[in-house]
Amino acid sequence: MMDTKDIYFKKILVAVDDSEDSIKAFRYAVHRALKDDLGLTIVSILEENVINVYQALTKDFIHGKREDLTKHVEEYREQALAAGVKDVDVWVGAGIPGEEIVNHVIPEVKPDLLVIGAKAKKGITKMFGSQAAYMAKNSPISVLVVR
């Protein structure tokens, strides 16, 4: 008989980017956090590889994009709190999403479960096989991929 104590989760990390799959992942994470009384951290990564050289050299552009992303992630936080999740944090980073989440966010946040959408919103990360696959393969914690 399996010991369920070994697979009990205390904190969920959910990655959001406004894609359809990401929104489904967020909804699942909120549902699971409510059902099992878990902590929830919502993460979004500013993809530096989709910013052109001119934009990268303009501090106001980067600052504006990060500020906009932070406000948007706070809106997700408010939705989770309004749904009844008690412990909700946010994390906004920059870089290649899969690498940033696996190498920096997970070690800092220390979640037990990563919930991600199969397809991202834009760029080359649009197809499963890139960022989602990277996280599923390299994550040191359990990963749930939502379609």
119-134 pLDDT tens trace: 876 554 444 447 999 9
pTM: 0.83
Cα–Cα distance, 82 to 90 (Å, whole number): 15
pLDDT tens sequence across 72-119: 999 999 999 999 999 999 999 999 999 999 999 999 999 999 999 998
Residue 49 has pLDDT above 80, yes or no: no
Distance from chain centroid for Cα 94: 12
Q: Which domains does the chain have, with CATH numbers?
A: 9-126+135-146 (3.40.50.620)
Contacts of 123 (CB under 8 A, 6+ apart): 47, 49, 50
CB 143 within 8 A of CB 114: yes
Residue in 98, 116, 95 with CA at minimum distance from that of residue 50: 95
What value does the mean pLDDT take over residues 47-55?
53
Is pLDDT above 50 for 44? yes
β-pairing verdict for 88-94 and 142-146:
unpaired
